[in-house]
Amino acid sequence: WVAAFIFFFMVMMTLGEKKQDRYILPVYPMLDVVAAAGLWHFARRGSARRQTGLLAAVLVVNGALAVWSLPYTFAWYNPLLGGAKVAAQTVTIGWGEGLNEAAAYLNKKPDAAHLKASSWYGSTFAPYFRGETIRYSDQKGNALAGNYIVFYVNQLQRHYPDDEIWRYINDHFSPEKIIRINGVDYARVFPAPGIGHYVEDQKYSGIAGLLGWDWPGSPSPDGGPVQAGATLPLSLFWENLGKQPDEPFFVRLIGADGDVWAEGTTAPTAEFADAGLWRPGQIIEERGALPLPADTPPGDYSLQIGFYTQAVPQGELTFPTANAPLNAPLQTIAVRAGAASAAEAGLPLDNLRLLTPAPDIKIQAGALNFDVRWLAPQKTARVYQAEFALLDETGAARWTWPARPLIPFLPTDAWPAGVALCSRWHLPLTDPRAPGGAFQLQLRLLDETGAIAAEQTLGAVMLPGRVRNFALPQPEIPLDAALGPGIALLGADGVLSQLTPAINLPLTLYWRAVAPVEDNFTVFAQLLAPDGTVIAQQDAPPLAGNAPTGAWTPGEIIADAHTLPVPANLPPGEYRLITGMYFWETGRRLPVAQNGAQADFAVVATWNQP
């Protein structure tokens, strides 16, 4: 029964797809029982000398086997069944044996304490290695980060994490050291790329994963601050998960203001240029450069890596991914000021000089986008801000954006003298009150007190949206009525001198936006009979809904046309034409102040009907 258990248990475990030597450990106690029974059977039939000799023989043979397998007893396999070589073809082997020897080999390297070695079996390798052990399981970037990489027999048998990391290293490097135990290669020590930066779990499923990057040339941000105007060579490593070859990677510098201050792209090296040969999971190496504009402000910038793609509406995907955020940027890159420029260049604006009096202004993503280049001829103690305004044909400011520092992360009193610096602007046009039409964009340089230190018109802009009218009208019937805190009724046109029955009474109301209005109101125009009843009425939002009050620009004039059907029968008496505004949702009217009186409507005209 013991033999049957041993036999059938091993058959059952053999049928399984996954084969580990430890899976058959339960048979060993039973084998010990069989061995003990055999020894007892032979020993009990002989003399004491025979029993002693048998016991000695058992001890000598087993002792010899144990000594022969030292110091790696786990690496011993029955030579009657082919030993370790056959075992390596049958089951997964290796419990860390030989990794100590791989570490000892690397420890003899010059400056070994400063070396980095990547090891899949890091928990066993690290205690023996004097340098830094980088552990990797399925993280290929970690594997590429070591100056050396150690492959282990168990890992290669299991194709872990996959065959691509082995292919990449084996195709680019030759092993420096192979640790053999009982004729089997247990550990292989390869030189490795030793990339300076790597990340974990930075993948977009079905597209691509970022593994790491390096700055292989000079200047390199790893060596300290880099000067504006320099070009930084870059190597990029990524994992192919299905990305299209025409979706290039990019690298960017992001300022503390969230703006992109520098951008470059990469391309696969010649080895990987044929995208038709790309394999799933393959490591692709790319080369490129990140050029820093010469007018980049000095400061610390965050590195962003991503790729353009049609897989998402925004047209690009960036790292770190939203599903695996990092506690810090991919890398912080320090930039120092560029070379000095001619101090007399540019247009003087107080203590500064404006180098771009006519910047290239573009309308993109709902904003006015442009760069303004500055220069401080000497160090200044002034802390300037800038605001921008839209000027109409009369020179009046019709829209103003809030002031902010010229460079949010570099106040002007910290500017280096004689160095051209760029300030980046995105003036939003998403406010419904922003006017459309032709304007001049004006720059106002403000000092610490908020006073205007200098002004300069930068150029003409044609803004999308509804064109606003700011010219004061000359209405036939002047009026002076205030509705709520932000609307004025200036007058009306088209009102007949005599009220005629059975006509459509024309009416044009001239509204003016005195201040920003938050809500959208409905205009009402009513003809009241002598007894106060409404005999004609029209309700509509301004300009039939094309100019909601919540979108009025301060100072804007609205010529709002209405028509009231006058009934055929008009009894004698005084008739009044009134107007006002109300909330459509509640019907509550805005208060009206007219000629010193308070009401909820304004009187436009009166008639005495005979």
pLDDT tens digits, one per residue of 545-582: 999 999 999 999 999 999 999 999 999 999 999 999 99
pLDDT tens digits, one per residue of 121-162: 999 999 999 999 999 988 899 999 999 999 999 999 988 888
State the pLDDT at residue 433. Answer: 94
Whether the per-residue pLDDT at 228 is higher than 90: the answer is yes
Using pLDDT thresholds of 50, 70 and 90, give the confidence band for residue 54: confident
Query: What is the distance between the alpha carbons of residues 242 and 154, in angstroms, rounded to a whole number?
Result: 29
Query: What is the distance between the alpha carbons of residues 41 and 331, in angstroms, rounded to a whole number?
Result: 73
Whether the per-residue pLDDT at 46 is higher than 80: the answer is no
Share of the chain above pLDDT 70, in %: 99
Using pLDDT thresholds of 50, 70 and 90, give the confidence band for residue 403: very high
> Which range (13-27, 30-44, 192-206, 254-268) has the least confidence?
13-27
Q: State the DSSP code for 411.
A: -
State the pLDDT at residue 10. Answer: 86
Whose structure tokens read 């009217």? 589
State the pLDDT at residue 343. Answer: 64
pLDDT tens digits, one per residue of 164-191: 999 999 999 999 999 999 999 999 999 9
Asked whether the bond before 348 is cis by omega within 30 degrees of 0, the reply is no
Closest by Cα among 97, 91, 99 to 158: 91
Q: Beta strands of 83-143 (E only): which ranges?
A: 116-119, 132-135
pLDDT tens digits, one per residue of 412-429: 999 999 999 999 999 999
**pTM of this prediction?**
0.83
Share of the chain above pLDDT 90, in %: 82
Using pLDDT thresholds of 50, 70 and 90, give the confidence band for residue 317: very high
Q: With contact defined as beta carbons under 8 Å apart, do 142 and 198 qualify?
A: yes
State the pLDDT at residue 190. Answer: 98
Whether the per-residue pLDDT at 512 is higher than 90: the answer is yes
Whether the per-residue pLDDT at 468 is higher than 90: the answer is yes
Q: Return the SS3 of 165.
A: helix
Query: What is the distance between the alpha carbons of residues 421 and 405, in angstroms, rounded to a whole number?
Result: 13
State the pLDDT at residue 39. Answer: 84
Question: Average pLDDT, whole number, for the chain?
Answer: 93
Using pLDDT thresholds of 50, 70 and 90, give the confidence band for residue 606: very high
Q: Using only the alpha carbons of the chain, give its radius of gyration.
A: 42
Q: How many CA within 13 A on the CB side of residue 304?
A: 19
Whose structure tokens read 């340098």? 131
